[in-house]
Copies of this chain bind each other. A is one copy, B any other.
Amino acid sequence: MATPPEGLSRRAWLATASGAVAAGLVKTQFDAVKLDAATLPASQETVVDPTEVPGRIVSEVGQRAPGERPVRLVRSTEISSSSRTPLQDLDGILTPSDLHFERHHAGIPDIVAEEHELLVHGMVDHPTVFRMADLKRYPAVSRICFIECSGNGGAGYGDTDIPTEITPQALDGLLSTSEWVGVPLSTLLREVGVREGASWLLAEGRDAAMLARSVPLEKALDDALLVYAQNGEAIRPEQGYPVRLLLPGWEGNAQVKWLRRLEITDRPTMTREETSRYTDPLSDGTARQFSFTMDAKSLITFPAYPYALPDRGWWEIRGQAWTGRGRITGVDVSTDGGRSWAPARIQGPVLSKCPVRFRHLWEWDGRETVILSRATDETGYVQPTTRELLAARGERTSYHWNNIRGWKVAADGSVTFGLGELL
């Protein structure tokens, strides 16, 4: 491992080598250097002492520290492409907006917000065009929630050909979390007057794919939002600037970006993206269609490939757990390949359809083992094993891979993807 693998920041890379401590000083269980009172730290003097030189002054827009360069993992340079959030570099639940995952079918359109229009028509009393200034004038709602691509995590599914040298980012990086602000779709639908008999709507984007998805009216009237702000500021171009359909807890593809049209209908429109794509083939030859909701899932992001534990002792296993069905109620962690499980500590606030951080203190004895996590949500749903998910969906399914993930810790401390005995 002489150079950082694809998608790994220099920081995470350096961390693998930082366990060594100055010889002769007392070490705590957590590896800090203890001094006798007369000893002074030395290395603060080995570079230019920042207490002796004036620093850089304030700026209009900040920059990351030079040593910190988290980047999205770009999977393709073709027009239909994706980029993944560097989950192993992040802590907390929020994703910086410039690191939010991307999935575009025809690239990011160049849209001037002041000229953008959203047409709401179909089975309505008053077909209406809304501009951004109109949308922003309605009472707003904000919520912190995740967006996950329904195609996230496929590399960790199946019983053969599972890669072992894969980072959390490459595995499950089509998951990101933001604070979103916008107008409830129910407000706009009340404004245009939905007609008797309407039950679906078609949402269409203003990109070159004109990506379009059918959404049940029930969801539209529940918690759907038309969002124009992300993490405080205007939504990013990659996320649908100037306005995106937000369907909390549902697959990302249905949350149409660069939204330009909502057509109220009495049936699903059966677009390409919900017939030939974004359906889940089953082993009996049928397919799950309109499988919108993202099921409960969890992922250990530390320790994970390519991190290597520098020594035995106490380590905090850290990860994220999320569900599209409401709140996470618990995460169990196994440090013995699934033979026993213990409840992890859940970091609040626990919000609906929003990831939680779980943390579990673990004393590694230096022997090879497998660490795993398993999420449970408020509906009682428990994240399934690979074997359980294979039995329900078969090998040909190509979306909604939420089976239990794990990492094999070798005796030399190296960490690779692997489930051990627990398939």
Contacts and interface: CB of A to CB of B under 8 A. Distances in A.
A374 to B, nearest CB: 20
Counting contact residues on chain A (CB < 8 A from B), the size range is: 35 or more
A65 B244 CA distance: 14
Copy tally for this chain in the complex stands at: 2
Contacts of A231: 92, 94, 96, 231
A33 B131 contact: yes
Contact of A65 (B11, B72, B106, B237): B237
Interface stretch (A74-82, A245-253, A390-398): A74-82
A234 B104 CA distance: 28
Interface in A107-137: 107-117, 119, 121, 126-134, 136-137
Interface string A214-244: 0000000000000001011110111001100
A interface, over-half SS: loop
A277 interface: no
A35 interface: yes
Given A54-B79, A58-B83, A232 B35 contact: no
B139 A58 contact: no
B61 A78 contact: no
A176 to B, nearest CB: 9
A51 interface: yes
Interface string A149-182: 0000000000000000000000000000001110
Contacts of A92: 142, 179-181, 229, 231-232
B361 A234 contact: no
A64 B234 contact: yes
Nearest to A347: B142
Contacts of A139: 316, 345, 359, 361
Interface of A: 11, 14-15, 18-19, 26, 28, 30-37, 39-41, 43-44, 46-48, 50-65, 67-68, 70-72, 74-79, 81-83, 89-100, 102, 104, 106-117, 119, 121, 126-134, 136-142, 144, 179-181, 191, 206-208, 210, 229, 231-234, 236-238, 241-242, 258, 260, 314-316, 318, 345, 347, 349, 351, 357, 359, 361
Q: Top 5 nearest A-B pairs by Cβ distance?
A: A55-B107, A50-B109, A62-B98, A60-B71, A18-B133
